[in-house]
Amino acid sequence: MQQLTDEPVVRLQGVTKRIGRRTIIDKLTLDVPQGEVFGFLGPNGSGKTTTIRMMVGLMKLSDGEIIIRGHRISSQFEQAIKHVGAIVENPEMYKYLSGYDNLVHYARMFPGISKQRIDEVIQLVGLKARIHDKVKTYSLGMRQRLGVAQAILHKPALLILDEPTNGLDPAGIRELRDYLRRLAAEEQTSVFVSSHLLSEMELMCDRVAIIQSGKLIDIRQIQRLGSEPAAAEVAFEVDQPSEAALVLSDLQVEHKDNRVVLTADREQIAQINAKLVSAGIKVYGIRLLTKSLEDQFLEVTGGEQIV
């Protein structure tokens, strides 16, 4: 168990990366609290991997600061990084070593990782049958699993995964998703996961940030099943829009064409519908107008050139 704290596990403040004259990451600011699965969504070349490289100290920041568990990655590297487990881009391992020896290699770099812990992790990622084979005989998905294994060996407070589902089969994706959610819920691990697949993010994340061309576009809370949805813009398609607006005059209503538009939550939608019907107005349809994450993401990525 990690100790509980209100401090975000990782905090990015005005993180900027310039290479030559190009600004690849532009003043990125975000926090990931303890126990949250945070999605980092962006099209190809938007700067996901570059951000992750800076978070794990592989690249220096041009500006800004990254603080992990209260330690700056730039000046207190060892204290900051010991809370982190990561996959950066492809999980490249030593091909001439067995999967097991690869894990032993990384286990030696942390204090007190027992043989039992290594076996436990192997079991968890489902590589038991092939763990003593050389990594050069592994498939992409198997290497991805080994990548996850080395990242969680030391039970990090922050798990950073760069497109971890790349190469996994549907069962593998599902297992990983369930495992990440369980880690967050049971061990209070924070997970920072990048992807360009929105559907995947919606299934596993609590919040999703969208970046494009190195800039943060938006951070969204994801609605989980069973959680109370927030109020949203709703359109009611009716036969007499002006009548309907009168009936609902105690609310803020706009009416145009054959619709009335207002802001309401789930419960209110049902009440409004009942009110309209009992006033003799025909309701043909009820529609949420708030842009889904998908619409927004497509707007960002759709048809645009990779910059």
Partner 1 sequence: MFDFVQLVRNENMKIYRRTRTWIMFGMLLVLTLAISIAAYAFPDGNLPSMWMAFQINTMLGVNLITIFAVIIAAETVAGEFSTGTIKLLLIRPWTRSKILLSKYISLVLFAFLFVLLLLVWNFVLNWLLFGSDTEARMGVDQLPALNFFLQYHGYEFISMIMVVTLSFLVSTVFRSGSFAIGLSIFLLFGGQLLTGILSLMDYPWVKYVLFLNLRLSDYLSGGNMFGRGEHDLTLGFSLSVLAVYYVIFILITWYIFKKRDVAT
Ligand X SMILES: Nc1ncnc2c1ncn2[C@@H]1O[C@H](COP(=O)(O)OP(=O)(O)OP(=O)(O)O)[C@@H](O)[C@H]1O
- The one of ligand X, partner 1, Mg ion, none whose footprint includes residue 77, by CB under 5 to 8 A per kind, is partner 1
Strand partners, 287: 235
State the Cα–Cα distance between residues 214 and 189, nearest whole angstrom: 26
**Sign of the C-alpha dihedral computed for residues 99, 103, 108 and 112 taken in this order:** negative
Q: Locate tokens 């027992």: which residue?
A: 114
Which is nearer to partner 1, 106 or 179 (by Cβ)? 106
Minimum CB separation from ligand X for residue 36, in Å? 21
CA 43, distance to chain mean position in Å, is 14
Contact between 172 and ligand X (CB under 6 A)? Answer: no
Phi, psi angles (nearest 5°) of residue 160: -115, 120
Of 58 and 274, CB closest to ligand X: 58
Contact between 209 and 38 under an 8 Å Cβ cutoff? The reply is: yes
Distance between CA atoms of residues 38 and 204, nearest Å: 9
Token digits for 196? 């360009």
Kindly state the tokens that stand for 288: 């949420």
Which residue in 33, 45, 126, 141 binds ligand X (CB under 6 A)? 45
Compute how many residues bind Mg ion; rule: CB under 5 A.
2
Give the binding site for partner 1 (CB under 8 A): 53, 56-60, 77-79, 81-82, 84, 86-97, 101, 104-106, 108-111, 150
Among 19, 109, 270, 274, binds ligand X (CB under 6 A): 19
Among the residue ranges 43-51, 167-175, 272-280, 292-300, the one whose residues contact ligand X (CB under 6 A): 43-51
Which of ligand X, Mg ion, partner 1, none is residue 78 near (CB under 5 to 8 Å by kind)? partner 1
Residue 165 neighbours by CB under 8 Å, 6+ apart: 144, 172, 173, 176, 195, 197, 200
Nearer Cβ to partner 1 (49/188): 49
Beta-bridge partners for 193:
39, 161
Q: Which stretch binds ligand X (CB under 6 A): 37-45, 61-69, 92-100, 217-225?
A: 37-45
Minimum CB–partner distance for residue 213 and ligand X (Å): 8
Q: Which does 42 bind (CB under 5 to 8 A by kind): partner 1, Mg ion, ligand X, none?
A: ligand X
The answer to whether 247 and 275 are in contact (CB under 8 A) is yes
Residue 49 touching Mg ion (CB under 5 A): yes
In this chain, which stretch among 45-53, 173-181, 205-213, 258-266 interacts with Mg ion, using CB under 5 A?
Answer: 45-53
| 174 vs 178: CA distance, rounded Å | 6
CB atoms within 10 A of CB 117: 17
Tokens describing residue 123? 């079991």
Of 34, 49, 98, 301, the one binding ligand X by CB under 6 A? 49
Instruction: Tell me how far, at minimum, the Cβ of 49 lies from Mg ion, in Å.
Output: 3
Binding residues for ligand X (CB under 6 A): 19, 24, 42, 44-50, 196
